[in-house]
A = this chain, B = another copy of it.
Amino acid sequence: MKTKRYFLPEKELPNEWYNIQADMTNKPMPMLNPATRKPVTVEELSVLFSEEVSKQELNTTDRWIPIPDEVREKYTYYRSTPLVRAYGLEKALDTPAHIYFKNESVSPVGSHKLNSALAQAYYCKKEGVTNVTTETGAGQWGAALSYAASLFGLEAAVYQVKISYEQKPYRRSMMQVFGAQVTPSPSMSTRAGKDIITVNPNHQGSLGTAISEAVELARMTPNCKYTLGSVLSHVTLHQTVIGLEAEKQMEMAGEYPDVVIACFGGGSNFGGLAFPFLRHNLLDGKKTRFIAAEPASCPKLTSGKFEYDFGDESGYTPLLPMYTLGHKFTPANIHAGGLRYHGAGVIVSQLMKDNLMEAVDILQLDSFKAGCLFAKAEGIIPAPESCHAIAATINEALKCKESGQEKVLLFNLSGHGLVDMSAYDQYLAGNLVNY
């Protein structure tokens, strides 16, 4: 019988995360304090974030960062995640390509987000923090943080974009089952929220309003830190556990990827899978291609400009050197909420600038078409975000069919879509716009 899934024994789980910044010839340019235009310091960052992740954020020299034992122990609750040979998909496409995917959807909260949530919650706990806060849109990150906070005995307060709070009740319920306090944003619980509601009592909320409220809560609450689920370099660092596992698992399968593909929102699931393989391009002369699959309606890597920009709509964050559509850009209302972000993380932006990776744009209908094909062939209903990676993989597999090349493709199944079935409903009913 052909092997379908590869797991690592627990003792072979990675001990360290991989910091690609140490191996980059051109390091990312520094984040700037918008007031002083000077590089942001660990001291400045750690007002908001735990000290340890603030250090990680600015660490451009240490290649390996130890994974604390306490985090590794929690990783064993769901890691290693399986590396899966997609025989079903290969057959459906009739392609000579060998398609593999890393299945991050098996995490308790259904996505890769937990890999960083556990680390961030742990560092907070270790530093004596008692409360953590964050914003969430559809709720993937909020659910991950709520669970991680519960495991480490922290109180979690999540500001969820109001329209998602009302329209996506399942992820809100998940957060509540894990014991988190979930507030629809804008709310009357913060100065920022009150100001917004005063002007517009019917404001439906946005990641911008939710970030403002979470940041304010962290600033005004003793022993409370803010956490973020993507974009920043320390988040991607934690996600490299995905690629480091995949590297060993591909070795078990006796193959090495010619192409590595992931969907692209802020960059954490992409970097998490890609960077450990990219290091062999940087250091060992490998020629693997790396493809970020972004929504055509939010094409920062293919159509954005590389420049200093704010990470949030309101301009509260440091200035980040990145590919951006402008921090005032409002993405179309696609169902892949996790990809609706105007900018790309600073590491990916630098790699893109240096032609060390590629990006493709995927239309919404193509993403769901790919997702349904995958569901029928492999049985897993993918998150709308992950559908973008699948669509890009299918495109590569069909090129292999045309050329007869037996390439090895590896993509990241960042999450499942079981809590996003209403989006599939609308797709099957023909009600989705093809942004």
Contacts and interface: CB of A to CB of B under 8 A. Distances in A.
A425 B76 contact: no
A323 interface: no
Nearest to A76: B4
Interface in A345-385: 372, 375-376, 378-381
Interface string A49-84: 000000000000000000001001100111000000
Contacts of A11: 1
Interface of A: 1-5, 7, 10-11, 69, 72-73, 76-78, 88, 106, 108-110, 147, 150-151, 169-171, 173-174, 176-179, 372, 375-376, 378-381, 418-419, 421-422, 424-425, 428
- Interface of A: prevailing SS: helix
B380 A108 contact: yes
A65 to B, nearest CB: 19
A395 to B, nearest CB: 21
The 10 closest A-B pairs by CB, nearest first: A108-B379, A173-B421, A4-B76, A170-B421, A150-B376, A173-B425, A418-B418, A177-B375, A108-B380, A173-B424
Contacts of A421: 169-171, 173-174, 177, 419
20 contacts: A1-B69, A1-B73, A1-B76, A3-B76, A4-B73, A5-B76, A5-B77, A78-B379, A88-B151, A151-B376, A151-B379, A170-B170, A171-B421, A173-B425, A174-B421, A177-B375, A177-B376, A177-B424, A178-B375, A418-B418
Contact of A177 (B4, B76, B106, B381): B381
Identical copies in the complex: 2
Given A77-B4, A109-B379, A376-B150, A176 B428 contact: yes
A416 to B, nearest CB: 8
Contacts of A379: 77-78, 108-109, 147, 151
Contacts of A69: 1
A5 B10 CA distance: 8
A150 B378 CA distance: 10
A110 B1 CA distance: 25
Given A1-B11, A1-B69, 18 more contacts: A1-B10, A1-B76, A77-B88, A77-B378, A106-B106, A108-B378, A108-B380, A150-B376, A151-B376, A169-B425, A173-B421, A174-B418, A177-B372, A177-B424, A178-B375, A178-B376, A179-B376, A419-B421
Contacts of A76: 1, 3-5
Nearest to A417: B177
Contacts of A72: 1
A71 to B, nearest CB: 11
Contacts of A151: 88, 376, 379
Nearest to A427: B177
A49 B354 CA distance: 62
A289 B301 CA distance: 60
Nearest to A85: B76
A253 to B, nearest CB: 12
A171 B378 CA distance: 17
B428 A174 contact: no
A135 to B, nearest CB: 21
A146 to B, nearest CB: 10
Contacts of A170: 170, 418-419, 421-422
B78 A422 contact: no
A3 B10 contact: yes
